Structure 1
């Protein structure tokens, strides 16, 4: 038990000592000590300089598109056996696209800088490209319904390319045909970082993604003295590429120190390590794993929250658009109704004006015609004046004759006395 604990502890210490700090970043809580640069690395970009956050480098932002970003190590790798690990994440809209490259080249940043697989010219070294080329559309749900809801159907691939400096990739008629290995991998919108491992051993070269073998070869052996670099490019509909950690480890040192016979001899000479230290180491490792898991869960919750907020905002935009459309239709309908009423009133006003004109004409005609008509009637139907005078004289004569006759009779009649 003590021997096994000591072996685990020594293996852990050997692995920790084998990390090449000069070609690595992201092993501590903060990537950049000052928020401006990374010691030993050169950061550059086209359209926008990559953003340095506490736990990641945003090589290409989620907005705008057509941005390039790069991070190059200034140190050369002198070890012949090594393992490079990259924790990265790609996210963007449904039809977003872009690419991420891991370079291991003789001249480092010179001649490449922010170039991608399709825009680089001649270079001496190797590049691992992560892009949308040749990916198969996902038709099942291997990671559950939640991941499918977050990612949707998508494709992607990881491919390896080599160049001895004689091939101009930018002007090659078919760069894709130069790949020496590839595998399909849907890397976009996973809601978590993915881990890419590039491992060179004495008799094997392999690329592993999320602890699954992507491709390997026993015919590839990269020389020492080369440098690592990262480049990313986004399209018009952008993808955001984020690098959380790049760790380079020397396998030759760790393999020597992990020999059980050497460990047992060392333990016999130096004495056994107390088992409590083994428990503390295991507890610390477990704590680190739990913290990493908690961070991954927190990031997943953040992604879900962002997706939920985006969905709510999209729903509100649609609702406002529908309401605005209904309001616009109502306004258009009311405007049409007002126009129809205005046309009716105009027509009615015209008819009233015509009627008023007719009434005025009739009034004028009556005003001018009635006196003339009455005058004609009076002049036509009135009796003659001479006839009236004659009749009046006759009546007066008759009355006078009657009165004279009455007087005579009254005088000739008998007198009455009292």
Structure 2
């Protein structure tokens, strides 16, 4: 028997216990796990320091190091995220609707756990606690497979969570971590059909593509974020600058950061000149088409690759467009259906953009950085789904459930 089969068996058994755990006990255990994360923050930071040192040896970029790095504040945020999940309404057991059919049967639709969830992810250790807390709250056992970059951090985090469950007399196999980072083990994990009910990849385009191509278990696809902001001809200039600056600079290494700015030709001279003054001192590299480059002193000429790239770094592609239609056509061609935004004072432009742009989150006069389960009020998130089946956008508690029909009769037989 392989280690993964054992993991699967243990997770399946734990999921059956967890599905029966009432909301009060789930919340109490989440609170205790959060307390343990905070109490053991130094152990977590020590483990993270090992990961950071190895990453620096391997020449990982500053932006990717930021995704990996934990600080005292970030560990506290992880614990707070778990506590927030504990305060959220529990969807499990909720009967969303009930009706009587022609035969007098009372038919209801009730939310239930998915069962055992597998998650493959890269770099960010906070995914470990986010995923564990959301799965636990929804009665799902979880098997985590993080990237080799964060292996020490993830092992320490899961060790703390498992020890807390054991100390409180609950099955620690509800949360498990695959420590082997090899592709062979990952491929076996993707085919664990007898035990995994769903697999969720969270990471870059390469990881997601490999999971889609290799997995035989059902997959909920989380997408890359080649996100755009369209600056319309009718704008509040300062608002447009503030939104663009925030979407690119506040945290460039995450999937909801903006990667391309589309600027209407009527406002391009003023807007781009002012934008460059804001971005260049922050170290942002600009890649512009020929028309945009004429208004920018520091920009390099953009190539086709720039329109396609999710930089996850202090880099920004800029294109001047002649109309809203041209902007939306560019988004249709290059967008990854993650987050798209328009900045405008024109009501009709906002309505067209909202109706015609196909993405998990579409914004009017706001930064794309808000595409996040925490910011949407879901507590933590399992990822941003860019597909359309079952779940789309930030995946919170409801997206980690399924439903079953419950039917009450009083002796009915079908004629």
- For this structure pair, what is the TM-score category when the shorter chain's length is used for normalisation? under 0.3
Question: TM-score, normalized by length of structure 2?
Answer: 0.23
Higher relative contact order (CA 8 A, sep 6+): 1
